[in-house]
């Protein structure tokens, strides 16, 4: 391995067509989809936490790959896409054990963010977002525990959905924090996002006309940097013209801030991660990159009493959001507080940015609600996402509205 290029040895293991470093440097599954189906002719990739029969699920860490046997079967979501006609072309890089929002894997490198050169793709579904943004595949599976679909979608300028918690099977998928883990996927257009959703949700196209109210999350918007707020303002105005003037709300409530709720999320997540992965870590003593090692060390420092305090608070937060949204309201918020940080950014600045990111993403995590990120704005030439969140189980209607919204915007731009 050269001192000039620490990942030079990995390049030989990547597919020849992967110019973005988005795929794991290992033999790739290439599985043709069914001859006919709603996704026939499309190419997809799977984040390397999804089981593919005959291949080791590496989860972004060489020691995990070394200590696990090849999968005996495909994860159900992979099967469903294959049965719908889409062809699997490979497994994409993830942050180690899916425990980061940066997309900078210490062992396998940082996938290229083609829409924000020199900036991180976001994690942990970094390879999937990179591959979709760069046109290597039409769609790709990711996962979202603390923002790992939504944040890469915003940073890379693609569409992404975190579904209602528990709505899509996670069988055959590496668990991280089970009460927060969800499947998810990326596309370059809203129509395909919806079409993939019909397959994975197992229900027909939703009702785009369901939505009668808009709620602007003022405290969430306040976490976004000024240029992001300015870039999103015309989009909010357009939504108001389409549906109704937006109500203003403080999602955190009167007594706590979004950062307070973020810490409750982190304490709960940490205890679940230790319960899920702690025994393997203790037995294997794996080699982690410095950032990930620091994160696991922190997780082990969280006491059960902190999680016990947070559990009933989480339920009260979820109930308050359920009441706020009712059955017909969309919550509007920025997906991320800013554009993707630079790959060579200062570590301390990245930590501060992460706090703001998690203060936004934990809203959906704590409430278990579906959230779609739409790549409809740019700041300094880089993508930034607008997010819409709906009531539990409204995934199909959310996707149908996103498609209708983006289709009408395209029509307006063509006039």
Q: How far apart are CA 264 and CA 258, in angstroms?
A: 10
Domain assignment present for residue 375? The answer is no
Domain assignment present for residue 344? The answer is yes
What are the start-end ranges of the H helices in 163-208? 190-201
Q: What is the pLDDT of residue 72?
A: 98
Residue 65 sits in the same domain as residue 189? yes
**Active-site residue identified among 124, 154, 364, 373:** 124
Q: How far apart are CA 374 and CA 414, in angstroms?
A: 19
Residue 270 sits in the same domain as residue 333? yes
Residue 177 sits in the same domain as residue 309? no
Domain assignment present for residue 62? The answer is yes
Supply the CATH number for residue 73's domain: 3.90.1300.10
| Residues 56/65, Cβ–Cβ less than 8 Å | yes
| Residues 96/65, Cβ–Cβ less than 8 Å | no
Q: Is 87 a catalytic residue?
A: no
Q: Could you say which DSSP state residue 217 is in?
A: E
Q: Which tokens is 101 given?
A: 């929002």
Domain assignment present for residue 184? The answer is yes
Q: Is 124 a catalytic residue?
A: yes
Q: Which tokens is 92 given?
A: 């994409």
- Our measurement of the distance from residue 189's CA atom to the centroid of its chain's CA atoms, rounded to an integer in Å, reads 16
Residue 261 sits in the same domain as residue 335? yes
Radius of gyration of the chain (CA): 20
Domain assignment present for residue 289? The answer is yes
- Whether the link from the prior residue into 124 is cis, omega within 30° of 0, is yes
Q: Which of 179, 201, 223 represents a domain boundary (last residue)? A: 201
Q: Which tokens is 277 given?
A: 């992965």
SS3 213: strand
Q: How far apart are CA 83 and CA 134, in angstroms?
A: 25
Domain assignment present for residue 138? The answer is yes
Residue 158 sits in the same domain as residue 299? no
Residue 313 sits in the same domain as residue 230? yes
Q: What is the pLDDT of residue 12?
A: 55
Which H/E stretch holds residue 142? strand 139-144
Q: Which of 143, 167, 201 represents a domain boundary (last residue)? A: 201
Q: Which of 183, 201, 219 represents a domain boundary (last residue)? A: 201
Domain assignment present for residue 377? The answer is no
Residues 6+ apart with CB under 8 A from 115: 133, 156, 157, 382, 383
**Active-site residue identified among 125, 148, 154, 362:** 148
Residue 122 sits in the same domain as residue 187? yes
142 burial class (0-12, 13-18, 19+ CB within 10 angstroms)? buried
What does each of the 415 residues of the chain score in pLDDT, given as a tens digit?
A: 334 344 445 665 678 889 999 999 988 999 999 999 999 999 999 999 999 999 999 999 999 999 999 999 999 999 999 999 999 999 999 999 999 999 999 999 999 999 999 999 999 999 999 999 999 999 999 999 999 999 999 999 999 999 999 999 999 999 999 999 999 999 999 999 999 999 999 999 999 999 999 999 999 999 999 999 999 999 999 999 999 999 999 999 999 999 999 999 999 999 999 999 999 999 999 999 999 999 999 999 999 999 999 999 999 999 999 999 999 999 999 999 999 999 998 888 888 889 999 999 999 999 999 999 999 999 999 999 999 999 999 999 999 999 999 986 664 454 3
Q: What is the pLDDT of residue 1?
A: 32
Q: What is the pLDDT of residue 10?
A: 60
Residue 190 sits in the same domain as residue 44? yes
Residue 244 sits in the same domain as residue 335? yes
According to DSSP, the β-strands at 43-47 and 87-92 are parallel
Residue 239 sits in the same domain as residue 130? no
Residue 325 sits in the same domain as residue 273? yes
Q: What is the pLDDT of residue 369?
A: 98
Domain assignment present for residue 141? The answer is yes
Total domains in the fold of the chain: 2
**Active-site residue identified among 47, 130, 154, 359:** 47
Q: Domain range holding 72?
A: 18-201
Q: Is 47 a catalytic residue?
A: yes
Residue 129 sits in the same domain as residue 186? yes
Residues 6+ apart with CB under 8 A from 121: 103, 110, 111, 112, 113, 127, 129, 130, 133, 152, 155, 156, 340
Closest CA to 338 of 135, 125, 119: 119
Q: What is the pLDDT of residue 16?
A: 82
């Amino acid at each position: 391995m050269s001192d000039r290029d620490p990942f030079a040895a990995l390049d030989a293991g990547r597919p020849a067509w992967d110019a973005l470093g988005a795929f794991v440097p290992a033999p790739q599954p290439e599985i043709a989809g069914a001859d006919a189906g709603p996704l026939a002719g499309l190419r997809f990739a799977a984040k390397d936490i999804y089981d593919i029969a005959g291949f080791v699920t590496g989860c972004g860490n060489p020691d995990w790959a070394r200590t696990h046997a090849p999968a005996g079967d495909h994860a159900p979501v992979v099967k469903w896409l294959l049965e719908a006609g889409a062809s699997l072309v490979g497994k994409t890089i993830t942050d180690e054990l899916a425990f980061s929002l940066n997309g900078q894997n210490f062992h396998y490198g940082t996938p290229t963010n083609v829409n924000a050169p020199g900036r991180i793709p976001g994690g942990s579904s970094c390879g999937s977002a990179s591959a979709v943004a760069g046109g290597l595949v039409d769609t790709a599976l990711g996962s979202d525990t603390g923002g790992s679909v939504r944040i890469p979608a915003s940073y890379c300028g693609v569409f992404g959905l975190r579904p209602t918690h528990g709505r899509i099977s996670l069988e055959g998928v590496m668990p991280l924090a089970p009460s927060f883990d969800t499947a998810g996927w990326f596309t370059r257009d809203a129509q395909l996002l919806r079409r993939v959703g019909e397959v994975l949700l197992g229900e027909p196209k939703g009702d785009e006309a369901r939505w009668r109210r808009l709620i602007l999350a003022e405290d969430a918007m306040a976490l976004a940097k000024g240029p992001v707020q300015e870039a999103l303002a015309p989009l909010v105005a357009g939504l108001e013209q389409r549906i109704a003037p937006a109500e203003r709300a403080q999602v955190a409530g009167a007594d706590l801030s979004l950062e307070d709720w973020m810490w409750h999320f982190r304490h709960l997540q940490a205890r679940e991660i230790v319960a899920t992965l702690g025994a393997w870590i203790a037995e294997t003593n794996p080699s982690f990159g410095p950032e990930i090692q620091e994160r696991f060390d922190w997780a082990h420092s969280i006491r059960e009493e902190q999680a016990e305090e947070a559990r009933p608070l989480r339920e009260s937060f979820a109930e308050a959001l359920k009441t706020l949204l009712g059955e017909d309201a969309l919550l509007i918020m920025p997906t991320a507080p800013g554009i993707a940080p630079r790959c060579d950014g200062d570590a301390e600045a990245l930590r501060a940015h992460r706090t703001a990111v998690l203060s936004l993403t934990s809203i959906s995590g704590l409430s278990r609600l579906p959230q779609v990120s739409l790549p409809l704005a740019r700041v300094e030439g880089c993508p930034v996402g607008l997010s819409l969140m709906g009531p539990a189980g409204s995934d199909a209607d959310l996707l149908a509205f996103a498609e209708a919204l983006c289709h009408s915007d395209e029509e307006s731009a063509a006039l």
